[in-house]
Structure 1
């Protein structure tokens, strides 16, 4: 018979002992009498390296510690060397079926090679370096699928399936059924880990678990905790034998269990108020602490009661045997009046091991008489009672371990002062706990509610949003007026969160379905590719398919113009930024102009956009020379796309085919159009039937691109018969967020703003002051940890103790906003150290690096062989070669290979091969480009989005290549048009908001609008984080809707805390 403990952790996991090394795991396995011990943490590279160094193969798939590393110790006896099997635990935090899920999984592998293979894959998904138990925003279904694809011999076990915060059936973030979590892969789950707070009889109450093997493990965070729970095996000593036992039950004889009451989440309760309640008692208080009113932590017993379809006491026919034990030091402690951690108990424990053998043999097998000769009468009596199950159980609750008593008080009084497993302090604690519930009367409203409720359903950490969703499902009168309006020109002023997108899409739908407009007569212009995609998807959903909607033109100004010019027969290629810069430098050098190329190009663009004032320093002759260069090479820049399209319509004004698609023109984000785009709108809709524009002058934030908030005034001047409708009901943000944002924007000129909140009151806007930029970013990382309810069990427990009753968020609920891209660099470092998955949205400087530009040009040339500029630039930037016959053969050889691969492989795979072939492993920019590519199905889509996409269209995974649930990092500009339940805005300080660049005057009104845009992205929670000298804009926020705090300060100064990685980084 073998004893196996398969779920443990190394010293590389958070909150573990530094003794969690192969040497000490081997030592304690021998002391305990454990034959097979899991390595734990196989994903951590340093731990795998240590295992490679210190273990050597034994039986198939098993390892032993090398002799030179074995610790000689008489307390460990001469037992056979324990076997190691490669194991690890993965923490998955993700969103599924509109709820945040936090589930832990135990994985067993047939060897270190398999561990290396799976780890390499997981490293492309998330950070596996910062914690031995990595946190991934990865659906458990997908994790299981990846594991099976890479190694079919792997074993997957849902970990401690009842733990409230991190498990399959967890009350706060789990599922109600196995199938809900694993879907079609459910048949590949064969075993369940019961966890410390449940035992087999509790699991027998669910008929849905009858077909699964029940296994138990210690989840030890220190070697001395090995074997708290374990498995009894009678099998061939090999990985295959272990696999058969776990997957089929053949050879699995039973389990060694904690008493479930000892588990720290067995009963319901509130640790801070010393309140422990049974499920039925908790129901009387409607799940709230009657002492302080906060939510009770729902225990395993309650959760089992919710899901059970059998009565308590049911015995499953043919079930495996199990034994309930208490660690030997705790039994010894009951006999000497000291705690289990005292030196006297430790000395007696080691004495018993030296004289009698392993701990399990003492607790389970040795005759009591033999034990008594070494331990004395009382300890021997305690072991006898333990074997017979004669124990008094006091359940654990809300993170507090339960306790087991072997002697009652009368016996103790007659045993020379011998005490129970409780110390005096613990007895006093119990006394308070037992009397707390009785001392508090059940409030009437809770009592009535409790009578109406029955135990059932999953505990939801958040509020009920059904009523809110129902409120927003229809159109309000103003929206309906906008949707059904019939007028030559319709102007909809839509403030943030007033349902702008819904109104725009509904208007398009009404035109198509309600008024019978043909899709070929309609064009919708959006500001971003994402908005165009969302509009198309919504219309497809409402109209029942893609075919009808595909005939309607939907896109950004630039993508629509590009399409029009190509269809008109114009031959051109789009200018590459590097080529534009080179051309600009040539013009500047020839004319000895005193300005950098970047400024030259910015002023050329201003001239094309009609912003003559901003274009003053570029001489007309230099401008014309630049344009001649582009024309000679048949190149158009982005401004030329618009101008050439405008000229085409002006010259072919009577071409009905050209104008057909613009009879009904819809324009989104009207406030951000430039003068050229305004002229395009006029020209496109000349002779048209209807023009529908929607936007908000208070969100005009692109003056540097030529946009002007006064475009609405110009529209009213040019179209005096205009119909104007205002949307004022805000469905997005809480009243506190709206009042704070309104206080800011009201400082700008203009009519009184009206935004009427439709949400119930929420939490105040939090103004957080840090000591510096590093302190700001560390606070952000810790706050994200808090918002998701803790990244591990210690975090989750800490947040409960500090009274954090807020609903748990998923990573994708959270956005971190900042003024400049530079601010993201330090922020990314902090998030990586905390193991928080993230995505960076926006154009970054690395896109201009030669290796990145050369790579993009190479694939552009493959997709469009006529693009000679892209071909020439790829040769120049990658191979440092001119375009000639010799270099052409080099390019053609690479093109031949990748043209074939491009037809069948996704961009991510293409770039992985490209990096290897071109020896670009040291190019960080190319690695970031690969991180962008994971969001796209093919290279054409990827390049198209990089070409025409706005800030929010362009995303990069933070150090991973898998599109999993992540926090979003983006600039304030990039956030426009988006919304998030939680927004954290960094750098709200003087010099950044408003931005003081030193190169040009501050447009304070626009900077204030930009700040307003960022604030109004928040739905439920808004945190404004500052340091040094706060932004002057903060003065306009009403004090009554804010709360002020200092970063890093404990909310409850009396509470202890777990050290974070960042505690060592603080300045």
Structure 2
């Protein structure tokens, strides 16, 4: 019987957050109908989901029968920590014992790996299988590609990375190879027959070596729960299944979820159709848009639209952009944080102009009293920061980059700069040492001898040209 006498720990939630947290939890039951939480940007989504898990545990739910799937292992660990802190307000020291029992929290791939090892013998799989990461998988597909002779074709065959990306898209999107090539890899359309042959050989190689790649963790799981008896057994061990970032799931993940909870009872998914900006492993926004209608009656929808991060002018601009979507869940982000400053839309000619404009703004802000360390620039991906990094370096403005190496710190860039410096100044030993190490057969001792010989010569380049090449 649920213990709902003390709910003071929910008082900090706003009305919609609390509605999501308490959904399906009553005096007679704690397993409710399916729930979709549309969580707008900055609306306290993680806090709401953590409170829901904690509330279920406080109300009497067995944490061993809660399945919580997040986008990353780090997010799962953070969620478990929040759940413990919330539950501790009611359960005291018992909270850590209860949350320690929350063992089924992780990514789709991590949970899939655990279930596959447990049910391996039931699906004719060796439980001692090893898991290849993306780099390992690309190397294996390259070996198969070479064995089939595709690396020696007259016209250039797709690289190992492209081959793996095509294979992964076919698996995760549940699409035939012809459709994948036509929509996402049109330049590879002429190789459809060879790619089918390659993928068949790649699958055989994995099975022969008792290896699964990341895509297999979902594929085998989906095939396992396609068996109604296994689906009922696995789904039946969980009273509650919760999925975070549902807008970033793919068709394979959606099929797994619906197989585990076909009626939707105890199922909660959280996400935001307006934040579906990734195509990571064939993610599709259709999963979240179509979710309510998957069940009868339709899943309940709770919308979190109060933003705790931004000011209203920023949210008004965001609402204007979101409203242009042809198909979406209706929401209007709002906040009680006011401001007279409005966001600016700046049009520039190219990336170089963009970098110059940003640097000018940084310097202008500094003149007005804003410290450099109090200014930040956001990028869609780490690789887009190159032009700005070059401009900041040219203007001698110090900066710290989060999320990847600085452009000028990348090995291949440092190699090229070293070559240019060495060409301009053959007596630059640091640049010369780095360049010589790129040559086969040249180690530290050989490089030192070459540089010593050049330093002693009147014409360093002539001295270098006169040296015999290493045997390799």
Give yes or no for TM over 0.5: yes
User: In the alignment, is the contact (CA less than 8 A) between 1:662 and 1:685 conserved in 2?
Assistant: no
The yes-or-no answer on 1:728 pairing with 2:305 is yes
- Aligned counterpart for 1:611 among listed residues 171, 175, 181: 175
Aligned partner (choices 158, 163, 169) of residue 595 of structure 1: 158
Considering fraction of residues, name the structure with more helix.
2
Give the Cα separation in 1 of the matches to 2:375 and 2:77.
22
User: Does the Cα contact within 8 Å between 2:264 and 2:295 map onto a contact in 1?
Assistant: no
Q: Does 1:817 align with 2:374?
A: no
Q: Conserved in 2, the CA contact under 8 Å of 1:494 and 1:500?
A: yes
Alignment of 1:935-1014 (within 5 A): none
- For 2:101, which of 540, 544, 551 is the aligned residue? 551
Conserved 8 A contact 1:484-1:507: yes
The alignment status of 1:577 with 2:134, answered yes or no, reads yes
* Offset, 1:667: 0.8
Q: What is the 5 A alignment of 1:634-673? A: 634-651=210-227, 653-654=229-230, 658-659=234-235, 662-673=238-249
- Could you say what secondary structure the match of 1:694 adopts? strand
Q: Which residue of 2 aligns with 1:838?
A: 401
Superposed displacement of residue 685, structure 1: 3.1
Equivalent residue number for residue 521 of structure 1: 65
Instruction: Give how far 1:674 is off.
Output: 0.5
The CA distance in 2 between the partners of 1:473 and 1:829, in whole Å, is: 50
Larger-gyration structure (1/2): 1
Q: What is the CA distance between 1:492 and its match in structure 2?
A: 1.4
* Cα shift readout 1:308-356 (whole Å, capped 9, x = no counterpart): xxxxxxxxxxxxxxxxxxxxxxxxxxxxxxxxxxxxxxxxxxxxxxxxx
Unaligned runs of 5+ in 2: 1-9, 25-31, 89-94, 121-126, 183-188, 413-433, 439-472
Q: Is the 8 A contact 2:224 2:230 kept in 1?
A: no
Q: Indicate conservation of the 8 Å contact 2:134/2:214, yes or no.
A: no
Name the SS for the 1:817 alignment partner: coil
Q: How does 1:848-859 map to 2 (within 5 A)?
A: none
Q: Residue 955 of structure 1 corresponds to which residue in structure 2?
A: none
Find the partner of 2:345 among 764, 767, 785: 767
Equivalence map 1:37-436=2 (5 Å): none
Following superposition, the deviation at residue 701 of structure 1 comes to: 2.0
Q: Distance in 2 between matches of 1:551 and 1:660?
A: 18
Does residue 1:680 correspond to 2:256, yes or no? yes
| Alpha carbons of structure 1 residues 841 and 665: separation in structure 2 relative to 1, 3 Å | farther
User: The residue matched to 2:368 in structure 1 has which SS?
Assistant: helix
RMSD: 3.6
What is the CA-CA distance between 1:707 and the residue it aligns to? 2.0
Q: Aligned runs of 1:709-748 on 2, under 5 Å?
A: 709-721=285-297, 722-748=299-325
- What SS does the aligned partner of 1:595 have? coil
CA 631–646 in structure 1, closer or farther in 2 if over 3 Å, else same: same
Change in CA separation of 1:762 and 1:627 when aligned onto 2, cut-off 3 Å = farther
In 1, the alpha carbon distance for the partners of 2:387 and 2:437 equals 21
Q: Deviations over 1:453-503 (max 9, x none)?
A: xxxxxxxxxxxxxxxxxxx98222222111111132111122212222222
Corresponding position of 1:485:
23
| Distance in structure 2 (CA, Å) of the matches to 1:542 and 1:597 | 47
C-alpha distance in 2, partners of 1:601/1:678?
A: 22
Alpha-carbon offset, residue 641 of structure 1: 0.9
Partners of 1:704 and 1:838 in 2: CA distance: 23
Distance 1:675 1:611 in 2: 10
- How many residues were matched structurally? 364
TM-score (norm 2): 0.67
Matches within 5 A, 1:1041-1052: none
Contact 1:491 1:723 in 2 (8 A): yes
Per-residue deviation at 1:624?
1.3
Contact 2:303–2:331 (8 Å) recurs in 1: no
Q: In the alignment, which of 327, 349, 368 is matched to residue 799 of structure 1? A: 368
2:75 aligns to what?
Answer: 531
Deviations 1:269-318 (A, max 9, x none): xxxxxxxxxxxxxxxxxxxxxxxxxxxxxxxxxxxxxxxxxxxxxxxxxx
CA gap 1:681/1:656 in 2 versus in 1, 3 angstroms: closer
Query: CA separation in 1, counterparts of 2:375 and 2:75?
Result: 20
Residues 772, 673 of structure 1: alpha-carbon distance in 2 compared, 3 angstrom cutoff? closer
1:627 aligns with 2:203: yes
Partners of 1:607 and 1:615 within 8 A in 2: no
Distance 1:528 1:783, change over 3 A: farther
TM-score, normalised by the number of residues in structure 1: 0.31
Report how far residue 591 of structure 1 moved: 5.7
Provide the rounded CA distance (Å) in 1 between the counterparts of 2:236 and 2:359: 52
Cα distance change on mapping 1:841 and 1:561 into 2, 3 Å = farther
Indicate the residue corresponding to 1:1057 in structure 2: none
1:675/1:707 contact within 8 Å kept: yes
Q: Which residue of 1 aligns with 2:43?
A: 498
Residue 760 of structure 1 and its aligned partner are, at CA, apart by 1.5
> Corresponding residue for 1:1016?
none
The 1-side partners of 2:371 and 2:113 are apart by: 41
Cα deviation 1:658-695 (Å, max 9, x = unaligned): 54653201111111110110011123335884001111
Q: CA deviation at 1:763?
A: 1.7
Shift of 1:783: 4.6
Name the SS of the counterpart of 1:653 in structure 2.
Answer: helix
Match in the other structure for 2:54: 509
- Counterparts of 2:355 and 2:137, CA distance in 1: 36
Aligned counterparts of 1:810 and 1:510: Cα–Cα separation in 2: 43
Q: Indicate the SS of the match to 2:378.
A: strand
Residues 689 and 585 (structure 1), Cα distance of their counterparts in 2 relative to 1, 3 Å cut: same
| 2:129–2:212 CA contact under 8 A, matched in 1 | yes
TM-superposed CA distance for 1:565, in Å, is: 2.8
CA distance in 1, matches of 2:359, 2:100: 43
Q: Is residue 57–residue 98 contact of structure 2 (8 Å, CA) maintained in 1?
A: no
2:469 aligned partner: none
Give the Å deviation of 1:839.
1.7
The change in CA–CA distance for 1:489 and 1:614 in structure 2 (over 3 A counts) is same
Quickly say closer, same or farther: Cα 1:687–1:716, change in 2 above 3 A.
Answer: closer
SS in 2 for 1:491: strand
Look up the match of 2:452: none
Structure having greater relative contact order (Cα 8 Å, sep ≥ 6): 2
Contact 1:663–1:685 (Cα < 8 Å) also in 2: no
CA distance, structure 2, for counterparts of residue 490 and residue 839 of structure 1: 36
